[in-house]
Chain A
Amino acid sequence: MLQTNLKHVESDEEFEKLIAENENVMICCGRMGPMCLPVYDIMESLQAKFPHVQFRDMDFDGPASHNIKRLPEVRGFMGLPFTIYYKNGQVVQATTSIQTEEQVLGILNRYFARAA
């Protein structure tokens, strides 16, 4: 299990329920490694600003990670973490390796912005 303050996705059931029941979901699939930790930190820091988005992490070596690894959007990814953004159950964006807060915010604002 990842040691973060985010909620984790640890099983297929949790993954399916999360995607089915929520409009906006961001999942960061990684390990407790140097390229992953900053992305978890960014997600933690943005949770309050985006209450309508479900922020989760997922252990890259855990039982639910095949749901991410099998996605066509991650073909060619060779850098942890794999971060996936879902809108109404569909993947709208996927990134590989470390990301800056600006990059994450750019994607959140683009796909999950609330109508004013």
Chain B
Amino acid sequence: MEEQFDVIVLGGGPAGLTAAIYLGRARVKTLVLDTGTVGGQTVLSFSVANYPGVEETSGRDISQTMLRQARQFGAEVKAYAKIKAVELAGENKVVELQDGSRFVARALIVATGGVPRKLGLESEARLAGRGISYCATCDGDFFTGKPIVVIGGGNSALEEALALTKYASRVTIVHEFDHFQAQPWIVEEVRAHPRIELVMEQDILDFVGEENLQEVVVAHKQTKEITRIEADGCFIFIGYVPNSAAFSAELQLNERGEIITDDNMATSLPGVFAAGDVRQKRYRQITTAVADGTVAALGATAYLEERKAA
């Protein structure tokens, strides 16, 4: 079965949903396909306090409102889409699902965001939910009175380490560099905290434990000296990976795998736009994703108009 749209949006996070709101309002026939939960990374935020015009709320509430708006303006939104193939190069952009459905549009917006980076160790996967966690607010209270490790050195890692001192008997922050990438005031707070220990310039070698995590094994980058840190829990915050692998053959990406766009969110292919965390930019926030989605939608609408006029 083949269905024609004006624009297909891949990704239903804040960038994709904003694009759908703008496209829907402009009466552009729009389909949003998300391979996972609509809302993207906002679903991972318990509390969002920096989205202008909205007092503190959850990321889920923001994205559910955006979803309702997109649908009210006529966009079709499908979650858990099983995408089999995407063709971007031709005049028609084609998305094929595993169930055989085919969607065709003249323009396409890639708004596929990112996912938390993992270390990729076998023991990390085996002990996930058994000591290894990626969410301090979710799992912190399982470690009340117990020693834990936090891996990472950016804002998220240090903020979560501070939050985890509420529960843990000791928090050891393990970082790969000799300095942190976080804001100076957070670093200061971490350095001054009596129950936080810093172990710098380390490679993570292994997580040890049968039923539960017992130790994190690290090695100093220069001296190679091995340290075994006793820990019941380990929280990993080592950044995000852009969801761009599926487009690497057709779109121009930078060395970090982010899609390169111009100021109008146009990519290296005509009719293909990119918005949000998946594209090359410095600051990744809901506000910047929403701004990108707006520009990409307006760019795609202008592109369709130009084609019509030609």
Contacts and interface: CB of A to CB of B under 8 A. Distances in A.
A80 B43 CA distance: 15
17 contacts: A32-B58, A34-B59, A34-B137, A37-B60, A38-B36, A41-B79, A42-B37, A76-B130, A77-B130, A78-B133, A78-B142, A78-B212, A79-B138, A96-B130, A97-B139, A100-B36, A101-B80
A33 interface: yes
Interface in A83-116: 95-97, 100-101
B43 A77 contact: no
B128 A76 contact: no
Contacts of A42: 37, 80
Contact of A76 (B36, B133, B135, B212): B212
B37 A37 contact: yes
A89 to B, nearest CB: 25
A19 interface: no
B242 interface: no
Contact of A45 (B80, B134, B139): B80
B46 interface: yes
B138 A80 contact: yes
Interface residues of B, number: 28
B129 interface: yes
Contact of A78 (B46, B130, B134): B130
Nearest to B211: A76
Interface of A: 31-38, 41-42, 45, 75-80, 95-97, 100-101
Contacts of A37: 37, 43, 60
Contacts of A97: 128-129, 133, 139
A97 B134 CA distance: 10
Contact of A80 (B44, B131, B139): B139
Given A37-B37, A38-B37, A45-B80, A79 B128 contact: yes
Contacts of B129: 77-79, 95-97
